[in-house]
Structure 1
Amino acid sequence: MPRPWSAETQRPARNKVLRGIIKHAVLICFLLIMLYPLLWMVGASFRPGNQTFAGLGIFSDTYTAQNYADGWSVGNLNFSRYFVNSAIITVGAILGNLVACSLTAYAFARLEFRFKGVLFGLVIATMLLPQHVTLIPKYIIFNQMGWVNTYLPLVVPHWFAVDAFFVFLMVQFIRTLPKSLDESARIDGCGHWGIFWRIVLPMSLPAIGTTAMFTFVAAWNDLLGPLLYLPRSDLWTVSLGLNSFLDQTGQSTYGTLFAMATLSLAPIVGFFIASQRLLVEGIATTGLK
């Protein structure tokens, strides 16, 4: 028989609802604190130049889109070209990482060969190597190859699985896939390439989405690489275009800078929204914390 209604039976349910409300309120407060700088920048990008730093509030009494019109083609800057350059480099880096890292990860996760453990350890060890240690040697090599003032130094290395983190991520994911699927495909006549293309790759979409997202953010936001290898202004990326707003004294027209910075974030936000499910699933299923 159902228990009779009483205040004691309803109290645990009310406490549970109250705890849920408090928890979500605290999370929303932390979210607003984290998003405040971004929201303030977006709000400041719509303010007139003399009101950019009028206050700490997000909203203003006066709004204008002139900062976007001025920033898009101010002086010798051409952000239309910069966005195209960034897109070319970013797409090349993403494709390179997806192809090279997935093939390398499949070899370490599924094939057996001599010194496999040693080689995988060396690959992981490169994650501990600071980027600045190899900066000068790489520049000397690329300069002697005639690659300076081209996109090649920013794209070609990704086609050789130089990003050990993504190799490790994909290896961890592929190891979670049951080997019985490989054996079934081998009975049907598939070789390693067929197993990789028809079995492993389709089931590795979460790890592929995670790799694509992280590569997109790193390549799109990269400043040091384009600053070294792309001295010609017609090859500049969005990050170099934003950096050019600062003059030699460190001053800037902040209204147009905030406007272009807001536009530069739009592709990242859009890509994250499109791949959010794969990103969360990829991190959750590879054991990364």
Structure 2
Amino acid sequence: MGTSVRTIRLFRRGIFHLAVTAFALVMLYPMLWMLSSSLKDTTEIFVKSHQLIPSEWSFDNYVTGFKGFAGISFSVFFKNSFIITILSVLGTVISSALVAYGFARIRFKFAPFWFACMMLTMMLPAEVLMIPQYILFHKIGWINTFLPLIVPSFFGGAFFIFLIIQFMRGIPRELDEAAVIDGCGKYRTFAMVILPLLTPPLITTAIFKFYWTWDDFFSPLLYLNSPKLATVSLAIKNFSDPTMKTDWGAMFAMSVLSIIPIVVVFFLFQRYIVDGISTTGLKG
């Protein structure tokens, strides 16, 4: 009886792992196809698209792609993306943590009203804000600079503020009171007591902001006109030329390189994503 039960459990576990593996392969197939295409000759990419293993391995696509276009190396586009992404992440983390501390720990007039206004901003479609923001940035002379892509991040993000608030509500207020007794003001209490305890939600905020900024295509397309200021997403799109022959091999090669930072960040900090979201959902 015990053997049969154990056999059934092993069978169910085997079926489960097979199903999960099959699902993982389906999800990973586009990335595997892109990696395979980056190592094929351009003429072979669509002729033998079903074949993941190239007939002849070629790294010329990476050499050609990294040369960029218009005399601008692809390293310039990576540098632009890193500048925008890193500064946006820093701005979002710092400002969102400060605003969350104000809502979670400081009593001020009309706090519920301002909190509701902040939450309502999450319901506004990006298309509603696009034209007013563009007009504003155009009038102050920020078009064709990195400023429209970086400066708004220093005013926080409603989603991240709410995430940090929920986590902060689970931190005992006795810690704040003890800090006040020791002579700490609000800012020192935040810096010395609260901030060190916010590691999970802050890292979660940084990771999501990194993903969203690095992958952003429309905002750089809207505000950046000079090829020297283009981000990786814009540069990859420029490999496609409907009027002439598109160098698909170089495009796929640079696409592979563009996802490396995202993959590295995910594998280094994936446990913080789970900790930050799961613990935030339990606080209250």
TM-score between the two structures when normalised by the length of structure 1:
0.93
1:42 has 2:25 as partner: no
The alpha-carbon distance between structure 1 residues 39 and 21, as it changes in their structure 2 partners (threshold 3 A), is same
Equivalent in 256, 267, 277 of residue 273 of structure 1 = 267
- Amino acid of the residue matched to residue 68 of structure 1? Y
> Structure 1 unaligned runs (5+)?
1-7
**Structure-1 residue corresponding to 2:122:** 127
1:104 maps to 99
- Structure 1 residues 178 and 15: CA distance shift in structure 2, 3 A: farther
- Is 1:24 aligned with 2:17? yes
Q: CA deviation at 1:74?
A: 4.0
**2:240 and 2:248 in contact (8 A); partners too:** no
RMSD: 1.5
- The residue type paired with residue 145 of structure 1 is I
* Aligned length in residues: 280
Once the two structures are overlaid, the 10-residue window that deviates more, 82-91 or 9-18, is 9-18
Matched, 1:78 2:36: no
How much does 1:193 deviate?
1.4
Q: Distance in 2 between matches of 1:123 and 1:75?
A: 42
Compare 86-95 and 174-183 and name the one that shifted more. 174-183
Superposition TM-score, scaled by structure 2 size: 0.94
Higher mean displacement: 172-181 or 128-137: 172-181
Aligned to 1:191: 185
Q: Does 1:176 align with 2:170?
A: yes
CA apart distance, 1:96: 0.3
Alignment of 1:140-155 (within 5 A): 140-155=135-150
Match of 1:232 in 2: 226
Aligned mates of 2:31, 2:67 — CA distance in 1:
23
Which residue number corresponds to residue 217 of structure 2? 223
2:58 matched residue in structure 1: 64
User: Structure 1: how far apart are the matches of 2:245 and 2:220?
Assistant: 22
Q: Identify which of 11, 33, 36 aligns with 2:26.
A: 33
Cα distance in 2, alignment partners of residues 278 and 250 from structure 1: 46
Taking the aligned partners of 1:106 and 1:192, their CA distance within structure 2 comes to 9
Contact 2:68-2:74 within 8 A present in 1 as well: no
1:11 maps to what in 2?
A: 4
Q: What do the CA deviations read for 1:187-230 (whole angstroms, capped 9, x no partner)?
A: 22222212211222111111011111111111111111111111
Q: Distance in 2 between matches of 1:214 and 1:151?
A: 20
The match for 1:52 is 45
Are residues 87 and 196 of structure 1, via their aligned partners in 2, closer, same or farther at CA, if it must alter by over 3 Å?
A: same
Q: Distance in 2 between matches of 1:254 and 1:75?
A: 14
Of 176-185 and 148-157, more deviation after overlay is shown by 176-185
177-186 or 270-279, larger mean C-alpha shift: 177-186
In the alignment, the residues of structure 2 paired with residue 254 and residue 239 of structure 1 have an alpha-carbon distance, to the nearest angstrom, of 15
State the distance in 2 between where 1:197 and 1:61 align: 58
Higher mean C-alpha displacement, 247-256 vs 53-62: 247-256
Return the offset for 1:280.
1.1
